[in-house]
Chains A and B, each alone.
Chain A
Amino acid sequence: MLRRKSSWPVEVLRYGTILLVILFFFFPIFWMVLTSFKPESAIMVSPPQFFFTPTLDNYAHALVDKNFLFYVKNTLIISVISTLIVVAFGSLAAYSFARFNVGDGHILFFILSTKMMPAIAVILPYFLIFRDLGKTAIGKSLHLGLDQHGALIVSYVMFNLPFAIWLLVSFFQDIPRELEHSARLDGLSRLQVLRKVTFPLAAPGIAVTAVFTLIFCWNEFLFAYILTRKAASTVTVGVESFFTLQGILWGPVAAAATIAVAPMLVFVLVMQRYMVRGLTFGAVRG
């Protein structure tokens, strides 16, 4: 991009604006982290305190008394398995849509149509289905009952697969067919082409899809709240459990929320480099 050299007041204004925007978006996270280290006496005071003696009491409460890592473990299991399933099936489905135009566009549209209603509209049927499924033999063996991991995994896969397929179709469409043709002439079988040429080239797209899916699963609340009680509850439900009859325990809530957000922050930061690199990754064009 071409940029002219600007005078210093313009520069000050520019960076001032950027700073404001950053503050605006970053402040809630900053305040959450800050609160998690505050003693109870410093939390609800007005005016708000920025300087105080930090304490780990809130973390102790969240981790020891409430055993918050239990929720983190559940979330990790459910999110990662859901994401793996979504990416595996999503990329195969997207590939066939992109290359063979399966269903002439109708199936692809139908898939998207399942996303056209709010989650709340289907939560009751889901609840009933999983309640009954949990009583069957296959439901028992796959942990598909209420308050079991399988039920949430299936729900998350159902909800993320359409979006993942749509995202991935465009990535696969961007890979020139000629690359696959060339590889087939160069001695690879169709499956080898997929494994050695197409999927590596689609890796950035697959990574993006995985990131979005994982974030969605990690942050999902409604399904987790309705379909679980305790055994399979995720972090979002875990945080909610701090809203007790005696009042909201803001300190432990902030600590738990920080613990819940931290893995995603780190994950996205790690993946970000890969995702941006991905945008300049495709095949050479004329």
Chain B
Amino acid sequence: MARITAQNLIKRYGAFQAVHGINFDIADGEFVAILGPSGCGKSSTMRMIAGLESISDGAILFDGRPVNDLRARDRNVAMSFENYALYAPITVYENIAFPLRSAGMDAASIDRAVRSVAEKMELGQLLSLKPGALSSGQAQRVGLARALVRKPAVFLLDEPISHLDTRQRYRMRRFIKSIHQEFGHTMIYVTHDQEEALALADRVMVMSDGLIQQLAAPDEVYTRPANAFVAGFVGEPPINFLDFTDADDRGLTIEGNRVALTEKLCGLVRQIGPRGIAAIRPHFLRLGGGSPVQLRGQGFITEELQDHNEIFVDVGRTRIALVTPPGQKVHRGEDVTVSVDPDHLLLFPAGNKVREHSDDI
């Protein structure tokens, strides 16, 4: 087990800088998910922790000891990969035994270790098969078993389940969580899937453009995003962004709706200025009045998903989404009032980077 610290960590590829001097501290036994879009520097960060890539500047420390100059094999780090990285010509048993053989362990101990981990990973029946005969879920369990078998100090997972189909993914997600609870490794999990990150991790590290945007517990990342990027990247359906104007000590205007502000938000407005972006999650909106913060708009469509409905409403030029209990509906063009939970209204400065909605209707 190990505590991992990054100090002003930088990764350059030639003239291109992928990671811009980031700092973090991951506690012993903690499960941290690194979340971000492709090219955000999350994989580079993970590979630097693993020792697969050199550290351009700054330092990584395991338990306070710098590991910059330590080779991958001397860091006692295990990793599982998106494409499983199993050795196709040899059996599942030999795949799992591989790291132990490399370490020169004796045959009896190898056999005991392999069988023990195989049992925990529900691979007992598959040991004599070759990787080609496995389903993708089984193959990834073999990958995890191979990583776990030598009792690593740090367990890294690089998008381990993004190749699986939806059902398998749910199963493997619970499986990985249970591994963490049982073995207690320091685990770092790289993913671009915000749902995985929220479901699995003790803390989520949201990265973008080579910088850490936020490192916090899932509920905090969800309800108190550090900036508009985090707000937009985390959450499904995505958060609603609306421009606000004419902000002063008492309120602000969103698409023609004058809205009164709580004390706390007034302080924020003073920092941001008269114009900016208001953000509100679809879950914290409801149809009808009764809130000090209300928006008027026209109904667009209703998606009836049975366990809940997703309702889309045009507020001025902006189309917003609401998640409501089943049964609620809007009709197209109907005048509706939407109530905003004032505790969950977020305000960001204008120009803050927002997730692009290329699939917007």
Contacts and interface: CB of A to CB of B under 8 A. Distances in A.
Query: Most chain-B Cβ atoms within 10 A of its Cβ — which of A197, A200, A201, A283?
Result: A283
Given A178-B82, A283-B85, A186 B73 contact: yes
Interface residues of A, number: 21
Contact of B87 (A179, A185, A189, A286): A179
Interface stretch (B31-39, B128-136, B202-210): B128-136
Contacts of A200: 89
Contacts of A282: 88
Interface in A154-199: 176, 178-179, 181-189, 197
Nearest to B136: A286
Place the interface of chain B in its size category.
20 to 34
B88 A286 contact: no
A186 to B, nearest CB: 4
B33 to A, nearest CB: 20
B131 A188 contact: no
Given A186-B99, A201-B89, A283 B72 contact: no
B350 to A, nearest CB: 41
Given A182-B85, A285-B83, A189 B73 contact: yes
A138 interface: no
B77 interface: yes
A188 B102 contact: yes
Contacts of B114: none
A158 B215 CA distance: 57
B78 interface: yes
B139 interface: yes
Given A187-B103, A284-B131, A178 B85 contact: yes
A30 interface: no
Contacts of B88: 201, 281-284
Contacts of B51: 184-185
Output the residue of B47, B51, B87, B146 with the most chain A CB within 10 A.
B87
A176 B88 CA distance: 11
B85 A179 contact: yes
B73 A188 contact: yes
B163 interface: yes
A179 B103 CA distance: 17
Interface in B64-123: 71-73, 77-79, 81-89, 98-99, 102-103
Contacts of A183: 98, 102
A188 B131 CA distance: 21
B84 A284 contact: yes
B18 interface: no
B9 interface: no
Given A186-B102, A188-B73, A281 B89 contact: yes
B217 interface: no
Interface string A192-229: 00000100110000000000000000000000000000
Contacts of B99: 185-187
Contacts of B79: 181-182, 185
B2 interface: no
Nearest to B104: A187
A181 B81 contact: yes
A186 B89 contact: no
A199 B50 CA distance: 23
Contacts of A201: 87-89
Contact of B81 (A178, A184, A188, A189): A178
Interface in B245-259: none
Given A187-B99, A187-B102, A188-B102, A182 B83 contact: no
Given A181-B85, A187-B102, 9 more contacts: A176-B83, A186-B73, A186-B150, A187-B103, A281-B88, A283-B131, A285-B83, A286-B84, A286-B136
19 contacts: A176-B81, A178-B81, A178-B84, A178-B85, A181-B47, A181-B52, A181-B72, A181-B79, A183-B102, A184-B51, A184-B52, A184-B71, A185-B50, A186-B99, A281-B89, A282-B88, A284-B84, A286-B163, A286-B164
